[in-house]
Structure 1
Amino acid sequence: MSFAAIVLAGGRAVRMDGADKASVEHQGRTLLEHAVEALVDADEVVVVGDAVPTTRPVTFCRESPRHGGPVAALLTGYDALRSRPTTVGVLAVDMPRVTPWTFRRLHEAAAGRDGAFLADADGRRQLAGVLLADRLDDVRPDHEGQHGMAFRRLLDGLDLADVAPEGDEGRDVDTWADLRDL
């Protein structure tokens, strides 16, 4: 089984005054570096966002038009993969507490299903999960339908496992206060 991952790093970060979240530092490393580290088991990583230096080779790309939302970013990154994986990981760049162990747990939970995502106690899925590539192909909207599409709508109809976050791994950084509180 091959595993490739897409890091969603091209959002507007409105509540952070438009900062490039990928280059924001937490504990001496960029949020992008935290994301790339969490995906150490991936054979290939594509970052959908502006280029930021990383210690591991990744491919950078952008959705067109820019800021099309997480569905457009995921599918743009998926199309940029050099080879077709069995499973596709997706991770928002602003989740620095996600680790390789998180993705190993997600893969275990996805066994026999279409995928698995971190989900909070209320059942809201986070942008941290794995999907079977074949099933992603099955639910993929046309190019025009991708932009602005709600991520939960893309996942509707898929048999997904919800995985409870351990500790703070489900926390994301939407504001400067969130970053401080981490």
Structure 2
Amino acid sequence: MSKPVAFDAIVLVGGAGSRLGGVDKAAVQLAGRSLVSRPLEAVRDARTLVVVGRTSAELPARALRVVEEPPGSGPAAAVVAGLRAIRQPAPWTYLIACDLPGAVRAIQLLGADAGESDGVVLTEPAGRRQWLLGRYRSRALRSAAQALGDPANRSMRALLGELRLVDVPVDDVWRDVDTWDDHDRWTQALDDGGGARPD
């Protein structure tokens, strides 16, 4: 499996981090690196890299930084803001959240054959789609954003639920860091060299 030759990436960093005590989630240190550093590593080959939201974490100099309107109005609004920042879209767009330590492996899995579908998305063992671990045809993604209308406080399902997607079931790499218990499990996994198995 390999990434498409030409792709853009939108990395979302604007989550409230409420279950982590309201911290700047993207900047939280995990195994010696900021939480957002691994998602950024995963999409380092993006033609255009957009980071949506406010964070004090170190970002690549080439990253375009934008904020959804209004600020804090949810991931769908953040995705739309990211799309608007990309002036010359590549054929594919990756969407990825900042709190995914297994992002590098996840992006590799998203190289699965999309066929004639609108994209590829990772799914939890129970079948729930992880919208922010997906590779989407840029034209389909932009059409979905236009059809949604005002994206403020809308869900990712409302934005992407009508797309024809290939589901890639995975056991672990989708696990994010929402709580300090999650943080502890990922710290142990990374220290042990497991990389993507925070069991």
Deviation sequence 1:106-142 (CA, Å, 0-9, x none): 1323232101111112211112101111111221147
Indicate yes or no: 2:59 matched with 1:59: no
Indicate yes or no: 2:7 matched with 1:3: yes
Tell me, yes or no, if the aligned pair for 2:122 and 2:133 is still in contact at 8 Å: yes
Offset of residue 40 of structure 1: 2.1
Equivalent in the alignment of 1:15 = 19
Equivalent in the alignment of 1:124 = 128
Q: Percent identity, aligned pairs only?
A: 35
Aligned pairs for 1:158-177 (under 5 A) are: 158-165=163-170, 168-177=172-181
AA at the equivalent of 1:92? A
Q: Aligned partners of 1:109, 1:70: CA distance in 2, in Å?
A: 26
AA at the equivalent of 1:105? L
Tell me, yes or no, if the aligned pair for 1:98 and 1:169 is still in contact at 8 Å: yes
Q: Aligned partners of 1:169, 1:57: CA distance in 2, in Å?
A: 27
Q: Aligned partners of 1:49, 1:80: CA distance in 2, in Å?
A: 13
Deviation sequence 1:3-56 (CA, Å, 0-9, x none): 000001101111111111110111111111111101123222111022421356
Q: 2:29 aligns with which of 2, 25, 32?
A: 25
Equivalent in the alignment of 1:103 = 107
Unaligned residue ranges in structure 2 (runs of 5+):
187-199
Runs of 4+ with deviation above 3 angstroms:
141-144
Equivalent in the alignment of 1:134 = 139
Worse-matched range after superposition: 122-131 or 55-64 = 55-64
Change (3 A) 1:111 1:27: farther
Q: TM-score, normalised by structure 2?
A: 0.83
Equivalent in the alignment of 1:115 = 119
State the number of aligned residues. Answer: 180
Q: TM-score, normalised by structure 1?
A: 0.90
AA at the equivalent of 2:114? A
Tell me, yes or no, if the aligned pair for 1:140 and 1:154 is still in contact at 8 Å: yes
Equivalent in the alignment of 1:36 = 40
